[in-house]
Amino acid sequence: MLVSICMPTYNGERYIADAIQSALNQTYGDFELLISDDCSTDLTADIVNEFMRRDDRIHYWRNDSRLGLFPNYNECMTQCKGDLIKPFAQDDLLSPKALEIMVSSYTTNKVSLVCCGKKILNDSPSAFSEVIETTLPQGLVKGRVVIEECLKSYRNLVGEPVAVLFDAKKVGKGFSESYYSLGDLEFWFRILKKGDLYHVPDELVSFRQHPESTTFKKLEDMTWVLDFFRLGKEYEEHLHRLGMTEEEFFVGFLERAGELIDRLVTTNELTVKNLSGFKEVAFYSMRRAAQLAAKGRAYDALVNSTSWRITSPLRYIKTRIDNNVEFDRKI
């Protein structure tokens, strides 16, 4: 069964050689490695060409213009010839048995999607270092259950692209290009609406986190907040099945996002220096919401009420303005 490993790349010279070598080291050899170069300006092409001279399973091309991450993944998938698709990234790694174990899990259980555990490679003390422990059980999990557990926990429990393998017939339109950060999770949801998931808890892949990574940049630009709101709207029927309204989902997510932002600021992993306008207001609002929520557990019912928590960030911003604490008002 042919596996198409899809690797979008852009200026990947720092890590791409290690990534390619980890693919070539697979014990499962029936694969093609497709590398879609999104107009790199560094030595990426030279590095890939050197590998191509040694292994004809590698196919490389350069896009005519910059597409961006999710559109480049989609471009890569249009060239796939495999029965299964394994997304990859220029700065991640596969363990030698990753394909062997994931393909076996797929064929044995006849699922739509396979995901596995991952190791975190953190190249910098300033890099985003939150490690999310999956709550998915080992083995077969119903697709609907996975979707609802992700929504309920406000987490991508399936994992980043490097952690999954899926049926090529379930690609559909691929990654949604209208999502800023969570295009992968929304894609997993659509695949899981067509079938079930098999979870391999073994750490078969390594996911690299560093300040230059797309993951870290998306964390800083705050667009993941908007994406989670959109997921809640698009998968409203699953919220209702959980006994949750859209409002409850949004309020719960703001508290969760605020707690994450507050922790990252406290540990000096995230700063507000690169934020401006609405993003800065959103940053301070969610951080304050988290602080008030934490204190509110000891307060009376009013402080713990939904209306108080929703409006508290606005009161906080007003206080800062009244005290002449400047915000960048550029929108």
Instruction: State the pTM of this model.
Output: 0.80
d(CA 308, CA 111): 45
Domain co-membership, 295 together with 211: no
Q: Is the pLDDT of residue 64 over 80?
A: yes
Domain co-membership, 204 together with 298: no
Domain co-membership, 70 together with 208: yes
Q: Which of 147-161, 232-246, 308-322 has the lowest mean pLDDT?
A: 308-322
Mean pLDDT along residues 259-267: 76
d(CA 225, CA 213): 18
CB 62 within 8 A of CB 39: yes
Domain co-membership, 134 together with 175: yes
Residue 186 CA, chain-centre distance (Å), reads: 10
DSSP string, 220-277: HHTHHHHHHHHHHHHTHHHHHHTT--HHHHHHHHHHHHHHHHHHHHHTTS--STT--H
> 259: pLDDT confidence band, cut at 50, 70 and 90?
confident
Give the per-residue pLDDT at 128: 40
Count up the domains in the chain and report the number: 2
Domain co-membership, 119 together with 253: no
Residue 264 CA, chain-centre distance (Å), reads: 17
Domain co-membership, 139 together with 277: no
Domain co-membership, 211 together with 259: no
CA quadruple 157, 158, 160, 163: dihedral sign: positive
329 in a structural domain: no
273 in a structural domain: yes
Assign residue 69 the CATH number of its domain: 3.90.550.10
Domain co-membership, 183 together with 291: no
Q: Of 186, 175, 180, 203, which Cα lies nearest the Cα of 151?
A: 186
69 in a structural domain: yes
Q: Of 168, 160, 159, which Cα lies nearest the Cα of 32?
A: 168
Over residues 273-293, the pLDDT tens digits come to: 666 655 665 776 767 777 766
Domain co-membership, 138 together with 261: no
Give the per-residue pLDDT at 224: 78
Q: Is the pLDDT of residue 301 over 80?
A: no
Tokens representing residue 312 in the block: 């508290």
The more confident residue out of 261 and 74 is 74
CB within 8 A of 148, min separation 6: which ones?
Answer: 238, 241, 242
> Structural domain of residue 293, as residue ranges?
245-322
